[in-house]
Chain A
Amino acid sequence: MHGSEKDAIIRMFHVYRYYSARKALCDITLEISKNEFVFISGPSGAGKTTLLKLLYLGERVSEGQVLVDGINLARIPRKRIPFLRRKFGIIFQDYKLIPSKSVFENVALVLEAAGMKSSLIQKKVRGVLRLVNLEDKSNSLPPTLSGGEQQRAAVARAVVGDPQIILADEPTGSLDAASAGVILELLKGIHIRGATVIVATHDEALINQIGGRVLLLKEGRLESAAFVEKQYDSSLS
């Protein structure tokens, strides 16, 4: 299920990323289509997180080119970077919630940054907190929540702006099976609503549960690309 040039939302050409002499990514060329569900798999240190960072300009490529929705990231002006980032909803491995702000404020921040009206923000944030079943925790501070609740808050923040692409970095890595199941269901729902979902994980069980294209990274190189059959009903929401 490789994306054709026309419907590809992400394209990478011979991308390299060095840290001093160490190569974190080496000659990566790939395409991801709109509304595709893609896993980036591989052991720890394989370069999964680095690859995701290159997409939202958390880091810059050392060599090669990255195109997101037709935008060449090497040529994007500094002022346009926030608008590029609004195309993404990012679920970080360590959640990256602001500890001094409530769950509601953390989620609302995305919409405030986009300049949305306060009344609409209230409505959208309440809706998305209902979706992730955190309505009753909207005034809680992140440090008072469990790992699973924090991850759900992070998912809520990632989806509240209706982004085109969801990037999830080890979204179930530190969760128990029940919490991981909830996150999984949420990711499925987001995909069904039309978003492109890219999940970096080394959790094979997660890949088998959802199915999709799997890009295997090893020591910064793209080793293989395989397709795992979907094991969930796409009518799920």
Chain B
Amino acid sequence: MAGQKLTLAKGLNAGLRAAMEKDAKVVLMGEDIGKLGGVFRITEGLQKDFGEERVIDTPLAEAGILGTAVGLALRGYRPVVEIQFDGFIYPAFDQIISQVSKMHSRSLGYLKVPMVIRVPFGGGIGAVEHHSESNEAYFAHTAGLRVVSCSNPEDAYWMIQQAIECDDPVMFYEPKRRYHERAEVEIDDAAGAPRGLHEAQVLREGTDVTLIAYGPMVKTCMEAAGAAADEGRSLEVIDLRSLSPLDLDTVTASAEKTGRVVVVHEASTFLGMGAEIAAEIQQKCFYHLEAPVLRVGGYNIPYPPSRFEEEFLPNLDRVLDGVDKALAY
């Protein structure tokens, strides 16, 4: 796939295909993922090529999907579960928290439940209620789970394969509003993944303020950094990529360099990822900070009707406003 234009959706599709070709124990489960290819077409063509036994159109019941995925994993399979939309994961919350996250530890290591739970998340697509949520913090709070989020086609391709290879359960958050954006991608299968699943990536180097984001907000932050550069401000942008565990080495190195950090996410700020990142930075980089770590995120209300979402979601202007506030100290 060298040098071709690839969407994030196609990157995931190709990554799933590669994982299925590599390991016959990888099975996909979800609602409408067979002939339809999923409501976002991420699994398009996979049932045709790998069969109904490996690409399973499940009954419409999320607890059932996760619970049977646990059973399949206990039998030696590596299920990749598609949750149709972020807001539909809650029926499966009990299985994920009570069983998926704890199985390895409560068995004292005898049992493993390697599985990937794919969650299309976030807003910005004008959707109806329950289709635009960012619930990653619930799962990042839970020991036993790993939580990652891809922001671009190349990461989509590699991270989904790394998540599937991982022996721990991985929550895989996909920025649904970026699914169909294209990018030039150089994929060298022989060279392998350019970085580990849990490594953050400095996407743009800068000296004045660090922006930390993941998933859909990475692009917003990159645009903000471009706009800031026009005004003579040098912003560093980190794509966090992994929400649990956090790559604190990359985060603190940048915080110590710039002394000013703004964390950006769509999720509500109260006890969101930004709260944890701010706490870690103030603890590890206290004497390097020129300003308190600031957060730009969703307001602390239920996700509003879509006519409000432009105001609810952080955008370029709100990110730059956060940068201004950080620089004002």
Chain A complexes with chain B = no
What residues of chain A have their CB less than 8 Å away from a CB belonging to chain B? none
